Amino acid sequence: MKVTEHLAQAKKPIISLEILPPTKGKSVESIFNLLDPFREFSPAFVNVTYHRAEQVFKRRADGSFERAEIRKRPGTVGICAAIMQRYGVDAVPHLICGGFSKEETENALIDLHYLGVKNVLALRGDAAGNEKFFVPHPKGHHFAKDLVDQIVALNSGHYQEDDIIDGFKTDFCIGVAGYPEKHFESPNLETDLHYLKQKIDGGASYITTQMFFDNKHFYAFQKSAKDFGIQAPIIPGLKPVTNKRQLTVIPSIFHVEIPSDLSKALMEAKTEAACDQIGTEWLVAQCKDLLAKEVPILHFYTLGKPHVVYNALKQLF
């Protein structure tokens, strides 16, 4: 089922999860071990992130180094198929522009279509580790909107090769990212909303947000998006903060604010268990507030400590 259908048909609040493919060399069992406990909450769908190759330096036998490109987390398409087969739950693969040519993206979309995957979250991706700013693949896309255009074209049967006439029409439901605290490269929220609207007007059907730890950012974003003429459903992205290190890591990677009450409580916590408890309570409070405001879906980033998300869900449902 498409994400939009899940949203339209939900009679009570639904949840969705986001996972990362395992690093190369690990088994798919690590994904099953993570997801199995969540079965009791019947997630409507599971998002699987997409990762570009990273540049690494490998030591040669003579002690010198050579530069190599390695995809440390391949397998998004396969994991999506494995999730759908094992759990009968819809999978939402992410696709990114960075590091991929249009043809590679098209081939991934064809594989997904053959596997019966109905959804895609279309993203730009971040700059590569060795680049200061995002640099598009020479044969790829610059912005998520361009990727949305490609998927919309495929949904109309238009393939990258001109000589494919009467191509099969895929039927992907396209989601895109939104940023309640604005995307860090954007000069202001208004400019960011302008480009978000382009993605929706271009054919995306819903928005999943960057994580936020103060619901006021989400509500303000909902309102601003609406005022801007963006009607698409907005799915709130939620992540527990459960250790002191995250207080600096999360803002520097994701460019979001951590409220002072939360950071103060974590700084004062004496044990890991106490940090988990604080993170769980904060997440539960955020979710209760969102549910009280009739937000129909909660999307959880499970990276790091899935048991904290599990414990929060246990208290909520």
Q: Which sequence positions are flagged as catalytic?
A: 18
**CA distances for 166 relative to 97, 156, 158, angstroms:** 26, 9, 8
Quick one: 180 or 279, whose CB is closer to ligand FAD?
A: 180
Q: Work out which of 6, 94, 118, 305 binds ligand FAD, going by CB under 6 A.
A: 94
Binding mask 123-142 for ligand FAD (x = CB under 6 A): xxxx----------------
Choose the stretch contacting ligand FAD; rule: CB under 6 A; options: 1-9, 187-195, 224-232, 309-317. Answer: 187-195
Choose the stretch contacting ligand FAD; rule: CB under 6 A; options: 23-31, 188-196, 257-265, 305-313. Answer: 188-196
Work out whether 160 is an interface residue with ligand FAD (CB under 6 A): no
Work out whether 150 is an interface residue with ligand FAD (CB under 6 A): no
Least distance to ligand FAD, CB of residue 65, Å: 26
CA nearest to 208, candidates 69, 59, 93, 293:
93
Beta strand 45-48 with 206-211 is: unpaired
User: How far apart are alpha carbons 41 and 37 in whole angstroms?
Assistant: 9
- Count of positions (residues) in the chain: 317
- Structure tokens belonging to residue 274: 């106490």
Q: Work out which of 119, 150, 208, 246 binds ligand FAD, going by CB under 6 A.
A: 208
Alpha helix ranges (H) inside 202-245: 215-227
Quick one: 137 or 183, whose CB is closer to ligand FAD?
A: 183
DSSP state string for 149-181: HHHHHHHTT--SSTT--SPPP---EEEEEE-TT
Quick one: 122 or 266, whose CB is closer to ligand FAD?
A: 122
Beta strand 54-59 with 65-70 is: antiparallel
Choose the stretch contacting ligand FAD; rule: CB under 6 A; options: 62-70, 152-160, 186-194, 213-221. Answer: 186-194
Work out whether 192 is an interface residue with ligand FAD (CB under 6 A): yes
If you ran DSSP here, which 8-state letter would residue 23 be given? P
Beta strand 206-211 with 297-301 is: unpaired
Residue 294: what residue type? E
Residues at the site binding ligand FAD, with contacts judged by CB under 6 A: 49-50, 94, 96, 123-126, 143-145, 177, 183, 185-186, 191-192, 195, 199, 208, 210, 237
